[in-house]
Chain A
Amino acid sequence: MQKNEFLEHTADVTFKAYRRDLNELFENAAEALESTMVFLCEVALGDSCTTKIGSDSCENLLYDWLAKLLITFEIGRFAVEKCFVRIVGLSLTAGCLSERLGQTGTD
């Protein structure tokens, strides 16, 4: 099954994520987002982290999950290459395999 499909949009990044189940949907959506920020094949896995999020709807849970990944990239400077998502109700737990990136600009 296709994981992701990027769509045409002149302003934003738009993609469809496909899945066999909800967990895989969130994993594939994460991969799509990360691929817009780094070349995933070049991410050397060395770090890992666990993320827990709760929300008030499935749609908002997906939104909050992707927002979390964006913040992890921008502030934490981690690129997530692979994640394992488990959703129970409206709560998400994810184990992420990642690499800490070098700082861009001075530090």
Chain B
Amino acid sequence: MAFEELVRLGEFVWEVPQDAALRMRVPGRILLSEVLMKYLERGAIQQVANVATLPGIQKWSLAMPDVHTGYGFPIGGVAAFDVSEGVLSPGGVGFDINCGTRLLVTTLFKEEIELRIDELTTTLFEAIPSGLGSKGPLRLSEKELNDVFFGGAKWAVNQGYGNPADLKHCESNGCLDGADPAKVSPLAKKRGKPQLGSLGSGNHFLEIQCVDRIFDKKAADRFGLKEQQVCIMLHSGSRGAGHQICTDYVKMFQAASRKYSIELPDKQLACVPADSQEARNYFSAMAAAANYAWTNRQVMSFWVRDVLEQKFNTTATLVYDVAHNIAKLEKHTIDGGRKEVYVHRKGATRAFDKDASYGIEQPVLIPGSMGTASYVLHGTKKAMSTTFGSTCHGAGRVLSRKAARRSLTWKGVTEGLQRKHIAIKTDDLSSVPEEAPEAYKPIDEVISVVSKLGISEAVARLTPMGVIKG
């Protein structure tokens, strides 16, 4: 699809008209600045248009400012489907179900750990397994794994990995209702069983960060953030379990789409009616994977706290934990009426205007690329009315991994981090170029767009001090 077909509706809103492609049921809306427009791929525009053809889609097929081409749905895509007339699609969630971000805040300040940042980074690297195919130290029985799928972070807290207060500061309290381990294949369980409590690889990371700037003091105070305070950010998901669940159901749904006579412009959009048994099975399995991911981040948080206790005789409080690859059953106001919809957020974060745990808008965590800033924001009423309560999830890739490896070296990237006094630890130096800032859009611009659009508001900026790359 050509850039020329986009119609500008506002400073940051570009429409893919409903007649731009065959069978589009709604227009597409791509949220971008002119600066970010140069990174927009034709393939991503086409995917926004393709999603708009799916049955029961509400209002718009959306793309956040960090949009780039994905599997079927674009990454940075948001689409809501009517529960009776719409569909559920694993491609609209992603392979890493409940890939998400968690932020812990410590009682330490930058000057207390600056001289020991290498030591802290190394100790955390040794405490938390990371890398391709990494395994966690937990040895779960089949029953315990099923309990993880069913109970999520609550299971972890009950086992002693954290405290009940953590659950209040998790999206969905760290556990999505409706999970059913019986809908998870034996192979997904086999893959997930040894991996609980591990970071994974690729763009998964643990970062030691410092609150560099506060934009909204009232919200920062409520979230417990002060300038120069040391935080720990975790980015990880459901590991092999989630990947296999998505794989299983994509394969199943490719056949089922034909059974239900759903015409697909791209088979990667395989989907089934939301009120079908297949959809219910997928949702139950997806919820199980989501719960695994929350458990994973909860267990890793326990080890982070353990290290902080050992090294600095202190602990860390959970600020929040958000998912950015998930489908949720939510009620939204659409055309003046309240409607129940399945909101698919793939590389997009929930940004609600209310959060029970803080009594104000929901915290939103947006990690930047390696070596750049990350942001804490909060949700808004505007997000509720324009993006189904959603915002971006990160910086968004602009270079393929292949292109990044071709144009950058691990030595160059790590030297760049060292010049900024950022410690780095990883098992795989060869993959470091893939996560370099040059491989991503400028995070400050992405945040600027979502703030100016009013779909999330900046609370604080965090800058990295130490990076553990998975």
Residue of B nearest to A107 (CB): B135
Q: How far is the CB of A16 from chain B (nearest CB, A)?
A: 13
* Contact present for A104 and B131 (CB under 8 Å): yes
* Contact present for A12 and B399 (CB under 8 Å): no
- Which of B63-71, B144-152, B175-183, B372-380 lies at the interface? B63-71
Interface range on chain A: under 10, 10 to 19, 20 to 34, or 35 or more?
A: 20 to 34
Partner of B397, one of A10, A67, A105: A10
Judged by a CB distance under 8 angstroms, whether A2 is at the interface is no
Contact digits for B384-404, partner A, Cβ 8 Å, 1 yes 0 no? 000000000000011111110
* Contact present for A12 and B135 (CB under 8 Å): no
CB-defined contacts of A104 to chain B, threshold 8 Å: 129, 131-135, 427
* Contact present for B135 and A10 (CB under 8 Å): no
CB-defined contacts of B41 to chain A, threshold 8 Å: 10
Question: Cα distance A103–B194 when bound, in Å?
Answer: 11
* Contact present for A8 and B135 (CB under 8 Å): no
Contact digits for A1-41, partner B, Cβ 8 Å, 1 yes 0 no? 00000111111110000000000000000000000010100
With an 8 Å Cβ cutoff, the count of chain B residues facing the other chain is 32
* Contact present for A105 and B136 (CB under 8 Å): yes
* Contact present for A8 and B402 (CB under 8 Å): yes
Q: How far is the CB of B431 from chain A (nearest CB, A)?
A: 10
At the interface, is chain A mostly helix, strand, loop or mixed? loop
* Contact present for A9 and B69 (CB under 8 Å): yes
Question: Cα distance A20–B57 when bound, in Å?
Answer: 44
* Contact present for A74 and B198 (CB under 8 Å): no
* Contact present for B190 and A75 (CB under 8 Å): yes
CB-defined contacts of B430 to chain A, threshold 8 Å: 39
* Contact present for A11 and B68 (CB under 8 Å): yes
Partner of B191, one of A63, A74, A103, A105: A74
Question: Cα distance A67–B191 when bound, in Å?
Answer: 12
Q: Which of A6, A60, A63, A75 has the most CB of B within 10 A?
A: A75
- List 6 other contacts, CB 8 Å, given A10-B68, A10-B69: A8-B400, A11-B71, A11-B75, A75-B191, A105-B135, A106-B129
Using a CB–CB cutoff of 8 Å, the interface residues on chain A facing chain B are 6-13, 37, 39, 60, 63, 67, 71, 73-75, 77, 103-107
A-B contact pairs, 16 of them (CB 8 A): A8-B402, A8-B403, A9-B400, A10-B398, A10-B400, A12-B70, A13-B401, A74-B191, A75-B240, A104-B134, A104-B135, A105-B129, A105-B137, A105-B198, A106-B136, A107-B135
Using a CB–CB cutoff of 8 Å, the interface residues on chain B facing chain A are 41, 68-71, 75, 129-137, 187, 190-191, 194, 198, 240, 247, 251, 397-403, 427, 430
